[in-house]
Amino acid sequence: MMKYRALFLDIDDTLIGTNKNISAVNLEAIHRAQQAGIFVTIATGRSYLGSASILAQLEVHGPVIVYGGAGIVDNLTGEMLFNGSIDKALIRESLAYANKWGVHAQIYQGDMIISAEENEFTKRYSRTLNLPFLVDPLVGEKDWEDVPKVLVYVTPGEAEAEMLSRFIEQFGGRLEIASSKPGFIELNRLGSHKGSALLQVADILGISAAQTVAIGDNTLDYQMIQMAGLGVCVENGQQLVKDIADVVAPSCDDDGVAWVINELMLPNGRNKPI
């Protein structure tokens, strides 16, 4: 019997590299894992619709983790199994705080992006992920229900780390705050993160956390990598995440996902405790 029975994959800069596609090597390894009886799913900061093309390629038949752990969706039925919505007062406060510092912020309802204005970032983001976008100048003044995530965007550079620190100082202990990629600051309900979602999915599958493998690259993946039976950070990941990972795999551009599957999960690999 194989030690690991489920694999949780971050998408951006983990499963897909700089060319924004799943490599043939990674895809082949994933399908081999599925044929061997390993459940493979995603754990992403993206929305469900924004993950659709990836899910189709992976042929996921079961629960998927979206919105950084604030949502779990059954990919077979489209049913929302878990929705960790942010308190409406915290939504207003976080939007006001972003506005105070002159940085872009957007909220999500279902797969709809909502922001006070349209700009180059929102155009690029909605186009890349094929998501509907709504401009609402009063977004920061309304009471929003069922919002799983607030995304703050800061132009990557020196100001990014400073802005992340400001949000942590202002909202730490009240919201989950993480960086998912350069320029992206993700705000989720306290306690709703990829790690807690991994535990929920493992329970749905009827397996223990010790039987799971999680692969990621950034602080949005931190708890997931901590809580999985085998936590893996790809070589291109943040040092903070590498420090707590059980294994550092090759980079996203060097088929790190395939390496983990072939070397650590499948019966013909090492497949032994780390």
Rg for the chain, CA atoms, rounded: 18
Instruction: Give the pLDDT confidence of 205-253 residue by residue, as tens digits.
Output: 999 999 999 999 999 999 999 999 999 999 999 999 999 999 999 999 9
Task: Find out whether 106 and 112 touch, Cβ atoms under 8 Å.
Answer: no
Q: How many domains does the chain have?
A: 2
Interatomic CA distance for residues 116 and 104, integer angstroms: 9
Token pair for 2: 């194989």
Q: Establish how many alpha carbons lie within 13 A of residue 181's alpha carbon, considering only the half-sphere containing its beta carbon.
A: 12
Find residue 107's DSSP bridge partners. 114, 150
Interatomic CA distance for residues 131 and 147, integer angstroms: 16
Which domain covers residue 33, as residue numbers?
6-83+192-265
At residue 48, φ and ψ (nearest 5 deg) are -65, -50
Mean pLDDT score across all residues of the chain: 95
Interatomic CA distance for residues 98 and 151, integer angstroms: 10
**Shared-domain flag, residues 26 and 37:** yes
CATH number at residue 210: 3.40.50.1000
pLDDT score of 269 more than 70: no
239 domain residue, yes or no: yes
Task: Find out whether 110 and 167 touch, Cβ atoms under 8 Å.
Answer: no
Instruction: Give the pLDDT confidence of 125-147 residue by residue, as tens digits.
Output: 999 888 999 999 999 999 999 99
CATH number at residue 145: 3.30.1240.10
